[in-house]
Amino acid sequence: MSLFSLQGKIALVTGASRGIGQHLAVELARAGADLVICARSEAPLRETARKIQALGQRCLVERVDIADIASAEAMVERVRTQWGRLDILINNAGTVHVETILDLKPADWDRVLETNLRGAVFCARACARLMRQNGGGKIVNIASIAGLQSEEKLVAYSASKAALIQFTRTAALEWARDRILVNALCPGYIVTDLNRTFLESEAGAHYIRRHIPLGRAGRPEDLTGAVLFLASPASDWVTGCTLVVDGGQTIR
């Protein structure tokens, strides 16, 4: 199990105020990492911080919107100043807009792409610069099966996640010489506060029966093993991969 230990590591999780991001931040702390957590809203971040500190790990709280590149870069600089290093980035912050292509407004397209792609790319770049100074690191980009298959009314989200997967492959190639390993995780439908009402409705149950071979929606804890693998020494010869955790949905 020492292969999966994060003892002594510093990890940054974006979008850590709730849902998947909050869960993953706490699990990284449980594995031994100290955390930097960021999101646009500070109050729920404090709840995440309390959970991390209860596990005996340090936690730095940053109120940052990663779509604001200058703010994200300033956050990474504060990490360098305060802790001197960064070993892991979980690039999780994201947003979604549900609309048909014919009705989609340019402003909504821009908002999704600015967070899910532009923000994620430049946050990863800022982190990679710091990682390079300390001999390498691990970057896990939280993409989605929406980046691998088509679904109606998700054109902006799907485009952003498909592009994030391709960025992952290119960054893995460019940064391999710096021992910065970059991989993408593609979750399927994970129950969070944002989609719980639908997934627990009759319509949601019908969707699950039709599309997910394992017969249920995912839970945040279903991603724990995959993220610990990609963030830990267990994956030291893995880079540029796209790991799908979706209950079998993409094999339909």
Write out the catalytic residue numbers.
Answer: 157
The CA distance from 143 to 168, in Å, is 10
* Structure tokens belonging to residue 230: 């990609």
φ/ψ of residue 224, rounded to 5: -60, -50
**Nearest Cα residue to 216 out of 224, 205, 225, 226:** 205
Strand order in the sheet with 10-14: 59-63, 34-39, 10-14, 88-91, 137-142, 180-187, 242-245
In this structure, the number of other CB atoms found within 10 A of the CB of residue 1 comes to 7
Would you say how long the chain is, in residues? 252
| Local structure of residue 230 (DSSP, 8 states) | H
Name the one residue in this structure whose structure tokens are 């230990």.
5
The CA distance from 215 to 175, in Å, is 39
In this structure, the number of other CB atoms found within 10 A of the CB of residue 146 comes to 21
**Nearest Cα residue to 136 out of 90, 70, 92, 89:** 89
